[in-house]
Amino acid sequence: MNKLLKTSFKLTRRAPENFIMEEERHFLPDFEIIIRESHIRLFSNATVVQFFVFNKWSLATAYCLSRKITPKKKLKALIKRLTFKKRKIQEAIWALDQWSFGYFHWLTEVLPRILTAKESGYDYPVLFPKNANKNLYFDDSVSALEIEPHYFSLKERVQVKNLIAPSHLQPAQFDPEQIKQVRNSFRQYDALEQNVSKSKRIYISRTIAQRRYVRNETELERVLSRFGFETVFMEKLSFQEQRKLMSETAFLISNHGAGLTNMIFMPDNAIVIELKANADDINNCFFNLARALDHHYYYTINPGDNKLIQRANITVDVEKLNTLLTAIIPE
């Protein structure tokens, strides 16, 4: 049974602050979209096996993996459903898929879904695999959102008498109300000092990631240093340190990558500058996220070495970026 929480609605996004019509193709699909309805699925005696949910013997595909489940995967899941040792529990919330423990997906998809269930009156434990807490963001997240984890083994099947499954969110589209709930939960949890300066200028480097990096980073950093930017490697910071740093940041620059997700923790009306690749595909997840959070969003389009954004290393057009920074950063 489905419980409707919010009907579909049209969301209109303002163009980037420095938008020009010649670059329209990079943004046009996301200026106006329909955010689909939000609901909760109520399962009775459902079975969870790894990242699969069975309603009796039928695979509840809409609440499993976020990509298409092939016949081969369905067969493997069914075999595990038959052979894994069974454990019974009374009630739980299910909000996972195969992308859930990526930093971006955790903050923008998993946590909003859990909050949706809790705020609908279902204060149940949330199912997580036993190794979930190895992720650096896990402990603070469950504390901030007051989540009670219920751990399961990837070698067992868990039969849940009452299972609550919030609907999947549209990838990278963001209902502003939901994403701000996540932001506000962390703000309340962190209770940061209000009189701390919020004027830092941060460039997040992806050099350590060794993919989707800036090929001319030394040249880029010379330009950024003239405007007071500090280079940061998020991999070297704890989750708490990342949140604190972002709460004090007025200007954030990076290319496409999970580090930009940290704009969630920036002060209101902050400025985000994305160094986009001139790729064939369209991926506006960080433009969409900035708009959902009411940040000011700027961008530059830069040559990439791959036609796909997810694979493209970029060479930043430093002259274009210098012109942009000169225009928006006060002397």
Q: Is the pLDDT of residue 193 over 90?
A: no
pTM of the model: 0.94
DSSP annotation of 9 reads E
Q: Is the pLDDT of residue 230 over 70?
A: yes
Same domain, 201 and 78: no
Same domain, 171 and 208: no
Q: Please give the share of the chain, as a percent, with pLDDT higher than 70.
A: 98
Tell me the residue ranges of DSSP E strands in the chain: 2-6, 9-12, 32-35, 38-49, 52-55, 58-59, 85-93, 126-129, 149-152, 156-166, 200-204, 230-232, 249-255, 271-277, 296-302
CATH number at residue 238: 3.40.50.360
Residue range of the domain that includes 261:
192-328
User: By CB neighbour count within 10 A (0-12 exposed, 13-18 middle, 19+ buried), where does 75 fall?
Assistant: exposed
Q: How many domains does the chain have?
A: 2
Same domain, 107 and 140: yes
Coil, helix or strand at residue 130: coil
* Residue 24 maps to a domain: no
- Identify the pLDDT of residue 262: 97
Tens digit of each residue's pLDDT (9 = 90 or more) over 21-70: 999 999 999 999 999 999 999 999 999 999 999 999 999 988 987 667 88
Helix axes 239-247, 176-190, angle to 10 degrees: 100
- Identify the pLDDT of residue 173: 92
pLDDT average, residue stretch 230-255? 96
Same domain, 110 and 226: no
Please give the structure tokens belonging to residue 91: 């009630």
Mean pLDDT of the chain: 93
* Residue 288 maps to a domain: yes
Tens digit of each residue's pLDDT (9 = 90 or more) over 105-123: 999 999 999 999 999 999 9
Tens digit of each residue's pLDDT (9 = 90 or more) over 143-192: 999 999 999 999 999 999 999 999 988 888 999 999 999 999 999 999 86
Same domain, 256 and 297: yes
- Identify the pLDDT of residue 282: 84
